Structures are given as C-alpha cells and as structure tokens.
Amino acid sequence: MSYDTVVNLIAGTRTKTGLKIKALLDERTYEKGVKVTDEELDRVQVSRHRTFPDWNYTIPPHQRARRIPKQS
C-alpha cells in the first residue's frame, strides 16, 4: 500500500451520523529518541471506546495556558 492509499482510506471514513474525517500525510521529520516522562504520559487523557478499545480511542488536544497580556 502507498501512503496515498492509506490516507484516502482514512479520509473516506464516515460515522453513522455523517461526520467526515479529514486526513493528511505529515511528511515532517521528527527527532528520534525523545523520551516522555511518566508524569507527561499520565497527563495524556485517553478515552477508550467500547468497540476495540486498544484501536479506538480519543485523545483531546492539549490545553495550553492562556497568555494574559501585560497592562501598561
């Protein structure tokens, strides 16, 4: 299979309610060997689905702290 085939298969997915999936190939290069601490991993909020929970899960985006501008 090619990357295009896999991305197109994912992008062709629809839920029962009609939600369409957007899939893009990320071709960036990432540094190898980056270590994740147990504390960092514990902060990841994984919600496993009932059907095939090892394959189907949701991880919400990380909430960044809001920057409050300095008052002059």
- The model's pLDDT over 29-55, given as tens digits with 9 standing for 90+, comes to 999 999 999 999 898 999 999 999 998
- The model's pLDDT over 56-70, given as tens digits with 9 standing for 90+, comes to 889 888 766 555 666
Output the pLDDT for position 33.
95
The C-alpha atoms of residue 58 and residue 49 are separated, in whole angstroms, by 8
Q: How many CB atoms lie within 10 A of CB 48?
A: 12
Confidence of residue 20 (pLDDT cuts 50, 70, 90): confident
Question: What's the mean pLDDT in 4-33?
Answer: 90
Confidence of residue 3 (pLDDT cuts 50, 70, 90): very high
